[in-house]
Structure 1
Amino acid sequence: MRALVTGVGRRLGFYLCEQLVAAGWQVTGQYRSTRPELERLRSLGVELIQADFTRPNEVAALAAGLVDCPDLGLIIHNASAFEPLAEDVAARLAQFDRFYQVHMAAPFALNQALAPRLAGNDNASIIQITDIYIHAPPPQFASYVATKAGAHSLAMSLARELAPAVRVNTIEPGPILFLDEHDEVWREQVLAKTPLAREGGLEPIWQAVQLLLSNTYMTGASIKVDGGRSLARL
């Protein structure tokens, strides 16, 4: 079976490609910017397609390349854009539009184009990666969180629309892997409010993916993978 994973240039998307290949999947990976690390995925046999999700024509081209793929059985929407809220109103509006295109419009377009193909295969799944902060959106990340919440809502609607042929679920990561720009003070503050008191790493997300793939009675579910962070005040 073939899986499409978006946002494979680094971090979680890159890791998920490696794990899917090891599990026997044929993998197509979408990336926006060329990175030396992508050669590792090519060496594993991953088919890599460059597409900027802020450009609808490139999203459409990605979908067109897979619409006739007979064995497409999984889509993992991992591509993400992240940054704090911009300073001025014009920049905020432009930022919101970019987040909307990446987190909502591109997954929506891919789902609409590829759902009929998925429906032709047994145990087909769509997994949307969102964020625990969709439930308590911090003002400094308003555009990011709002569009991630929109992605969650679209996934829940799709779970109803595509059942029983295709299962649709979401994964909500917490502090699994800090960004380079997160200083030590920030990390300590986050982990102090995380019951398991440690950074999760990428493996727990893969374990959640495995659960969603193997449990054929799960659709419309959201799995928090956050070390208990959402139990505390976000």
Structure 2
Amino acid sequence: MKATGKVVLITGAARRVGAAIARQLAAEGCQLALHYKRSAAEAEALVQDLRMQYGTEAFLIAGDLSATETPARLIDAAIEHFGRLDGLVNNASLYAPAPFGEITPGDWAAMETVHLRAPLFLTQAAAPHLRKSGGAVVNIGDIHAEIPLRGYLPYSVTKAGLLALTRALAKELGPEIRVNSVSPGVVLWAEDKDPPDGDQQGLIERNALKRVGSPQDIAGAVRYLLFDAPYVTGHNLVVDGGRMLY
């Protein structure tokens, strides 16, 4: 399916994997609604770059996904600007340690909000518009949904919940809307942190391809699930270089 002219909303789009997804879809001719929370300067620079490099029609929507009104507001803003919606990418994520025995209700609530509540209510608000366009949803998971990361229990468990949400939404929204997820392995090191489950070279060695992936690998998978996978729904596409084989 051609992506030219399709309208896609991406959450957490200003940086890292979110920005790579935006670039991939812009190169394909998509029109983009790009959500960010705090990274205003990076988001604005990204939009300017997309416009200059690809002629992309893109606009920014700031919002805190922990606010209950934000999901519906993001969808309404995209529809008001473009008049339609063809894809939703739930990319926004929160990655932070929470050692067992020290986990607080706030730790859990923060992860649950970003990884479960926001994707659910964004998808619910988007569904009427995606039905009209025959659109798709892609959630960005993590291999640690299936290989829990020690010291990161709320992160791992809520990402596992996101995979369950993906499958449940695929049942709820078919046949008009497809819902899938992408689970990255190591494609970027966490900022200002050593890898929690070993040194960088050790993680690479526990990987069938013996190298780190790139955000572009994830962006390509998202593009495939949005536009080139008409008979795929409820699926989790693992992009990890073979990490889950070890």
Structures share fold, TM-score greater than 0.5: yes
TM-superposed CA distance for 1:86, in Å, is: 5.0
Aligned residue among 198, 214, 223 for 2:237: 223
Partner Cα separation in structure 1 for residue 15 and residue 66 of structure 2? 18
Deviates more, 1:199-208 or 1:174-183: 174-183
Q: Given that residues 129 and 170 in structure 1 are in contact (C-alpha distance below 8 angstroms), is that contact kept between their aligned partners in structure 2? A: yes
Q: Given that residues 5 and 28 in structure 1 are in contact (C-alpha distance below 8 angstroms), is that contact kept between their aligned partners in structure 2? A: yes
Partner Cα separation in structure 2 for residue 34 and residue 178 of structure 1? 19
Alignment of 1:149 with 2:154, yes or no, is no
Q: Aligned residues: percent identity?
A: 32
Partner Cα separation in structure 2 for residue 40 and residue 214 of structure 1? 29
Structure 1 residues not aligned, in runs of 5+ = none
TM-superposed CA distance for 1:49, in Å, is: 0.5
Alignment of 1:95 with 2:100, yes or no, is no
Match of 1:22 in 2: 27
Q: Given that residues 24 and 223 in structure 2 are in contact (C-alpha distance below 8 angstroms), is that contact kept between their aligned partners in structure 1? A: no
Distance change >3 Å, CA 18–CA 28, structure 1 → 2: same
TM-superposed CA distance for 1:204, in Å, is: 1.2
Match of 2:129 in 1: 117
Partner Cα separation in structure 2 for residue 54 and residue 219 of structure 1? 27
Partner Cα separation in structure 1 for residue 191 and residue 150 of structure 2? 22
Partner Cα separation in structure 1 for residue 38 and residue 205 of structure 2? 35
Distance change >3 Å, CA 42–CA 210, structure 1 → 2: closer
Structure 2 residues not aligned, in runs of 5+ = 1-5, 52-56
TM-superposed CA distance for 1:8, in Å, is: 1.0
Partner Cα separation in structure 1 for residue 33 and residue 95 of structure 2? 23
Aligned residue among 159, 182, 188 for 1:177: 188
Q: Given that residues 17 and 46 in structure 1 are in contact (C-alpha distance below 8 angstroms), is that contact kept between their aligned partners in structure 2? A: no
Partner Cα separation in structure 1 for residue 104 and residue 69 of structure 2? 24
Partner Cα separation in structure 1 for residue 162 and residue 23 of structure 2? 25
Match of 2:221 in 1: 208
Partner Cα separation in structure 1 for residue 175 and residue 73 of structure 2? 28
Match of 2:93 in 1: 80
Alignment of 1:136 with 2:147, yes or no, is yes
TM-superposed CA distance for 1:207, in Å, is: 1.9
| One-letter identity of the residue aligned with 1:15 | A
Partner Cα separation in structure 1 for residue 36 and residue 234 of structure 2? 27
Aligned residue among 6, 10, 13 for 1:8: 13
Q: 1:118-157 CA deviation, whole Å, 9 max, x = no partner?
A: 00013x1100000011112123110001111111111110
Alignment of 1:106 with 2:111, yes or no, is no
Q: Given that residues 4 and 75 in structure 1 are in contact (C-alpha distance below 8 angstroms), is that contact kept between their aligned partners in structure 2? A: yes
Length-normalised TM-score, structure 2: 0.87
Alignment of 1:199 with 2:204, yes or no, is no
Q: Given that residues 24 and 216 in structure 2 are in contact (C-alpha distance below 8 angstroms), is that contact kept between their aligned partners in structure 1? A: no
Where 2:109 maps in the other structure, the secondary structure is helix
Q: Given that residues 86 and 95 in structure 1 are in contact (C-alpha distance below 8 angstroms), is that contact kept between their aligned partners in structure 2? A: no
Partner Cα separation in structure 2 for residue 93 and residue 57 of structure 1? 22
Where 1:30 maps in the other structure, the secondary structure is strand
Partner Cα separation in structure 2 for residue 106 and residue 215 of structure 1? 24
Aligned-pair Cα RMSD in Å: 1.8
